[in-house]
Chain A
Amino acid sequence: MALGAYAIPAVVLVAITSMILLVSQDWRVSISALVVQYVGVFVLVALDWPLEMAVSKLIAGWIAGAVLGMAAISFPKPETDEPDDESLSDRGTSLLTTFLPDPVSLSAGIFRLVAAILVGLTVFSIAPRASDWIGSIQLAQAWGGLILIGMGLLQLGFTAHPFRTILGLLTALAGFEILYAVVERSTLVAGLLAAVNLGLALVGAYLMIAPFMEETD
């Protein structure tokens, strides 16, 4: 496949984007990193899949990013200029904490970085043995897939916030999709996995804004 030359750059790309997702606290940066990450996923999947099917990963990922971004953009602005409206002020604070769930201090940032490096080292040591489990996998695919799974799980371990949780799940699932693409080329599975990605993004968007929606019952 012509994309073979881009395999290693794709691994580097997913490693960098997943690390940004882990460390960054700005939702704009996070969503941008997620969107770029799917380019790497697309390249690694396209090593085994026909281009037109591999594009489905890219499109699904980008739509997922767009859905999360739309949810963030459509958020009502916190009305901090009206201190007498206490409930609104509280709501504004909650809104802020939704996207800045756990402000990362320098030491916490370094800790996350070190944890990410440890995940990277683990991946590089076990990736060569991935062919024992997945017959015809290329080393670059094993690296890319395992890095994303590791970083996604790390992200999940660090947070209990809807936005971050969804980013972690999408990252881990993207890693699995790279590994699974090597052995399964069913169109239905590709469609269902794309649907799961979109479903996760939609649920994430809903969970972000649900607390601020009007009660329906």
Chain B
Amino acid sequence: MNTPTIWIIFPGIAAAILYLLRRWKRAINLAGVVLALLLAWLAWKLPIGETLSLGPFTRLPSINLTDTMTILGRRFILDAASRPFLIFIYLGIALWFGGAYIARTGILFVPVGLAVAALLTAALAVEPFLFAALLIEMAALACLPILSPPGKPVGRGVLRFLTFQTLGVPFILYAGLLLSGVQTTPENPSLVIRIAILMVLGFAFFTAIFPFHTWIPMIAEEANPYTAAFVFFFIPGIVSLFALEFLNRYPWLQAEPGVSTALSFLGVLMVSIGGIWAAFQRHLGRILGYAAIVEIGLSLLAISLGAGRTANPDLQNLFFALFLPRGVGLAIWALALATLQAQVKDLSFRSVQGLARRAPVAASSLLLANFSLAGFPLLASFPIDVALWTALSSQSLSVALLVLLGFIGLLFAGFRTLAVLVMGQENEDWRITETRPQLLLLGMGMGMLFLIGLLPQWFMPMMINMAQILRGGGG
């Protein structure tokens, strides 16, 4: 038995089986949550690389759990150091599956979600790691049926997403080819420039970096908000992890001042433009999309802090710390939007006027998630955003101010949303129309936003552990 079988092959097979059983919506949803939690628990508990005895069943042979699987001459490795990533992926998937039924994501969400998790895990495991580009592309392809479900017209955002993800593959594969065999700084400066251009273009396509970010607000408007947020969280999230690994494998590339400057420039551009554009949107889904763009920008900034000649590698911790508040914030925001969407024909400001009077809990969750991602004090993202902002301001005050501008834009979007949601007929009573499961999940989500914001020390060590493992400093 080997670990890739458990965390790549098994979820892949489970995805196929759940697809065949898709008639039973609730059952496959529950099965998806249980399976994802089980895989996360196994990642936490199983002794990777050691012999596993099956507890009280002494007659059964013990299993040697190896960390490598070979397919067509290439290796997929999930060793003990991969543990936090596996827990992160499968716990994250379980969190998203938890709200899927209530968010009416459709019957394909759970099977596709599991397949995406298996493919993204394979992307992190494959050696040489550059082949991950192809696996990420396959994960993106798998997302298409949930972004454009049966019976709905195909939106332009979906096609743009498909196009950009596919166009990213050649750049990454070719950059990897040029990098193979280059362990120290190449003597030919034109080679460095070529590698940098190819890398930047490849990751820009994959992670929706400006100017290839346009599919995000379009999908946020066209697709189910919960499904859209799932894609915004996992695809750019795992790709940025892949980019960070890319940089860490080639220290000379990481030390290039141009790389750090480019990352910082693109990050600031994403955060400031994303925030400002969010402030002027008139569609709740699009605001979520721009918030996702701001989050991608923050990831780039966190990576840039750990790159360059004068960089402090410990600042890479911030990149990992961003994942938890982002995941919870986007999930709650999207769940609230899906709850509101069930009551109106679309999520434009015109349609949702006064909706807070009919769905106050969903509206509150939406606003709290919005404010959390905008770095509002006491909420989940605040401690990390402050740390990031402090680190940025110590390097460049203008960068920090532009990032602050992006946060202000997102806050402004939140206040506009608040104004629209509560406006309405004076004589309209306030009443709770959300269902009990919706109230429960949204309530738990709001609690999590406060809990992470107030007690970050409970949650951050695991995320920071991922950074240490990536740098080879722990395990």
Contacts and interface: CB of A to CB of B under 8 A. Distances in A.
B154 A162 contact: yes
A51 to B, nearest CB: 18
Interface string B180-195: 0000000000000010
A113 interface: no
B10 interface: no
A63 interface: no
Interface string B133-147: 011011001101100
Interface stretch (B83-91, B164-172, B361-369): B164-172
B149 interface: yes
Nearest to A156: B163
A194 to B, nearest CB: 10
Interface stretch (A19-27, A119-127, A202-210): A202-210
B141 A180 contact: no
A200 B166 CA distance: 9
Contacts of B154: 162, 207, 210-211
A29 interface: no
Interface in B98-121: 104-108
A167 B264 CA distance: 36
Contact of B107 (A165, A173, A191, A216): A216
B74 A200 contact: no
B149 A210 contact: yes
B162 A169 contact: yes
B150 A213 contact: yes
Main secondary structure of the interface of A (DSSP, over half): helix
Contacts of B107: 216-217
Contacts of A186: 72-74, 131
A98 B174 CA distance: 35
B26 interface: no
B15 to A, nearest CB: 14
A184 B163 contact: no
A160 B156 contact: yes
A196 B104 contact: no
Residue among B107, B135, B159 having the largest count of chain A Cβ atoms under 10 Å: B159
A188 B148 contact: no
B177 interface: yes
A162 B104 CA distance: 25
Nearest to A94: B153
A23 B144 CA distance: 27
Given A165-B162, A187-B72, A217-B106, A210 B150 contact: yes
Contacts of A196: 134, 137-138, 141, 166, 169
A202 B162 CA distance: 13
B158 interface: yes
B7 to A, nearest CB: 19
B134 A203 contact: no
A199 B142 CA distance: 8
Contacts of B156: 160
Contacts of B150: 210, 213-216
A184 B360 CA distance: 57
A184 B177 contact: yes
B151 interface: yes
B110 to A, nearest CB: 13
Given A169-B162, A180-B174, A215 B152 contact: yes
A188 B158 contact: no
B35 interface: no
Contacts of A162: 154, 159
B159 A216 contact: no
A179 B159 CA distance: 25
A216 B74 contact: no
A71 interface: no
A160 B157 CA distance: 10
Contacts of B166: 169, 172-173, 196, 200
The 6 closest A-B pairs by CB, nearest first: A215-B151, A213-B150, A192-B134, A188-B72, A176-B170, A188-B74
Interface of B: 71-74, 104-108, 131, 134-135, 137-138, 141-142, 144-145, 148-154, 156, 158-159, 162-163, 166-167, 169-170, 173-174, 177, 194
12 contacts: A161-B159, A169-B162, A172-B167, A173-B169, A186-B73, A187-B73, A191-B72, A192-B131, A195-B134, A210-B149, A211-B151, A214-B151
